Amino acid sequence: MNAQTCIRKLRYVCSTSMGTVDAHGNPQVRIINIMHVEPEKGEIYFVTARGKNFYRELQNGKEVAITALTRYQEMIRVNGIPERVPDTRQKKWLDRIFEENQIMNNVYPGNSRYVLEVFCVKKAVIEYFNLGVHPIFRERYTIGEEAKRGGGFMVTEACIGCGKCLQACPQGCILEKIPVEIKEENCLHCGLCSEVCPVQAIKRIEEE
């Protein structure tokens, strides 16, 4: 799995959710269509209308969170800052998007399409998360300049190798050695290993 394949898959799911933060600091989630992707360039395009709260939320300097579930139970998450496509290229992109997404003509017929504006995510952290395999499988990638962020749990030298975490782990993703090793790509981040450790050797990695 890689970032390019994740981006390509965004065009082949029936629904994609996009989260924003509203003027009150509360989350908003909408189901939107990803209108166009450029997997090799790492670009994800979508549109909204100037009258909507969504339009305002896209320009508040916060990230957007895009999450899609494929038919194979793979979850794809993209978190990054949206950029409004420059004025000079708005019309070209809108016309191209309406050509590629004919259903849009039902909702915005004729010239009413130009109340829409095109946005693009180019810098983002992408997470691929597959709950349909055992053990579960997850990986993180980046597009643009955004740095990878951490998550999950780490084992310190305090580990005494007692094996309590191995028995507790619901996914069997801890390797028996001293200190034990958590297989990051199979970890649910549930935290049970850390809770059962008698010497507090397993620490939560705070989000960057």
* CB contact set of 63 (below 8 Å; sequence gap of 6+): 79, 80, 81, 82
Cβ proximity to a second copy, 40 vs 132, nearer residue: 132
Instruction: Decide if residue 109 touches a second copy (CB under 8 A).
Output: yes
Q: Determine the interface stretch with a second copy among 38-46, 100-108, 155-163, 176-184 (rule: CB under 8 A).
A: 100-108
Strands 16-21, 64-69: pairing is antiparallel
Question: DSSP letter at 151?
Answer: -
**Max Cα–Cα distance, the chain, nearest Å:** 69
Q: How far is the CB of 184 from a second copy (least distance, A)?
A: 13
- Which residue of 39, 44, 58, 194 would you call a contact of a second copy, by CB under 8 A? 194
Site string for a second copy, 116-155 (x = CB under 8 A): x--------------x--x-x--------------x-x--
3-state secondary structure of 201: coil
Q: How far is the CB of 112 from a second copy (least distance, A)?
A: 4
Residue 174 and residue 180 in contact, taking contact as beta carbons nearer than 8 Å: yes
Minimum distance, C-beta of residue 122 to a second copy, in the bound complex (Å)? 17
Residue 78: CB partners within 8 Å, gap ≥ 6?
6, 7, 10, 44, 65, 66, 67, 121, 124, 125, 126
Smallest separation (angstroms) from a second copy to the CB of 97: 15
Q: CA-to-CA distance for 155 and 189, rounded, in angstroms?
A: 13
Task: Note whether 183 binds a second copy by CB under 8 A.
Answer: no
Residues that bind a second copy (CB under 8 A): 14-15, 17-31, 49-53, 62-67, 69, 75, 77, 79, 106-110, 112, 115-116, 131, 134, 136, 151, 153, 168-171, 188-192, 194-195, 204, 207
